[in-house]
Amino acid sequence: MNPRAHRIKVLDVIVETADAVSLVFDTPGDLAARFAYAPGQFLTVEVPSERTGSVARCYSLSSSPHCEDRLTITVKRTRGGYASNWLCDNITAGSILTVLEPSGTFTPRSLHRDVVLFAGGSGITPIMSIIKSVLIGGIGAVVVLYANRDAESIIFAAGLRELAQRFPQRLSVTHWLESECGLPTVDRLAAWARPHRGHDVYLCGPEEFMRAVHAALDRLGVPESVVRQEDYRSLTDNPFESPTRRAAAAQANGDHPALTVEIDGQIHRLRWPRQQKLLDLLLDHGIDAPYVCRESACGTCVCSVKRGRTRMLVREALIDDELAQGLTLACQTLPESDELHIVFDQ
């Protein structure tokens, strides 16, 4: 069992729309520090499966640490989506779910900067957490474009309306309804975003929606460095299962560079097989390295390469500036130098 997995009671189930529910968790007091989170982060939930035993899915926290005591995730049904449908159909107040501690890098750089937020469908979930956090925990202005199929599809409609009434000088929400306006186009998105070109940008939603937003921002000359995007996808590995040991196979594939790792105030010296990912190596040696998805999406296993050279197989959670600073993801990193020094200090 993953040491960051905990069984948590669901305190309440809130029906948001015909296809979406929010699950409010009753986190025990002794786990409060472990479940501290930043706006925009997510929980990974274990869902039972007759075919595989269980599957793992990531759901964003819609609550805000700046104004709510209970952690809340929001789940929207997806067509053919086993986990989302199971959660919507089976979870009631009092149910117990196994979840990993909060993770993710889709978080505001500052609560005091002006932000423009693009959300499509269930992509409003982490955006809602950021909206509440900036308004209540900071001083920044918040401008939101929220795209949906129709009015009945709007998740948090009442909550957004109440926040707009409470913060009329700092919050502006534009609802884009496909039933009335058609699909968002690059031209119209660029026209809408033009007055807010100086804001930090956060976007979350369907792939086609996010491509259109990126194209609109490129047209306006918005630098990539101020844009953050959250991606949803299913995990292929199950982080709730014990990690498979790959050391034996790695031993048969080449030499073993010398590795020094600093983590949690301790120094470990290991031999790192060239075909073994850093995270697998650490777990095989019983070292409690941070991780969630093992697929580069969450950014939990980020670390710094202080000496030597590594390469990443996949780099979804890191931007170019972070790579230039020497950051890497342990779950995707292989050694290239003969001697390496890596520090988990993020």
Asked if 85 and 25 sit in the same domain, the reply is yes
Asked if 80 and 142 sit in the same domain, the reply is no
Question: What's 10's domain CATH number?
Answer: 2.40.30.10
d(CA 99, CA 108): 23
Band of residue 232 on the pLDDT scale cut at 50, 70, 90: low
Residue at 295 is within a domain: yes
Residue at 247 is within a domain: no
Our CA dihedral for 69, 70, 71, 73, rounded to 10 degrees, sits at -130
Asked if 129 and 219 sit in the same domain, the reply is yes
Band of residue 221 on the pLDDT scale cut at 50, 70, 90: very high
d(CA 320, CA 38): 23
What pLDDT score does 243 carry?
53
Strand partners, 261: 268, 342
The residues near 323 (Cβ < 8 Å, ≥ 6 apart) are: 315
Q: Rounded mean pLDDT of 81-98?
A: 94
Asked if 97 and 126 sit in the same domain, the reply is no
Asked if 140 and 216 sit in the same domain, the reply is yes
Band of residue 254 on the pLDDT scale cut at 50, 70, 90: low
Q: Could you tell me what percent of the chain has a pLDDT over 70? A: 93
Residue at 250 is within a domain: no
Q: Which of 103, 125, 151 is the last residue of a domain?
A: 103
Considering 203-217, 254-268, 277-291, the range whose residues carry the highest mean pLDDT is: 203-217
Reading the block at residue 225, the tokens are 């460095």
pLDDT > 70? residue 322: yes
The residues near 40 (Cβ < 8 Å, ≥ 6 apart) are: 60, 61, 104, 106, 107, 108, 126, 129, 130, 202, 230
pLDDT > 60? residue 250: no
Residue at 223 is within a domain: yes
- Taking the whole predicted model, whether its pTM rises above 0.85 is answered as no
Question: What's 328's domain CATH number?
Answer: 3.10.20.30
Backbone phi, psi, residue 321, to 5°:
-60, -40
Residue at 246 is within a domain: no
What pLDDT score does 197 carry?
92
Strands of the 258-263 sheet, one edge to the other: 266-271, 258-263, 339-343, 302-307, 327-329
DSSP 192-228: HHGGGTTSEEEEES-HHHHHHHHHHHHHHT--GGGEE
Q: Smallest Cα–Cα separation from 179: which of 154, 144, 149, 210?
A: 149
Residue at 235 is within a domain: no
Which structural domain range is residue 301 located in? 258-343
Tally of structural domains, the chain: 3
pLDDT > 60? residue 29: yes
Band of residue 248 on the pLDDT scale cut at 50, 70, 90: very low
Residue at 137 is within a domain: yes
Asked if 192 and 93 sit in the same domain, the reply is no
Q: Smallest Cα–Cα separation from 145: which of 109, 199, 75?
A: 199
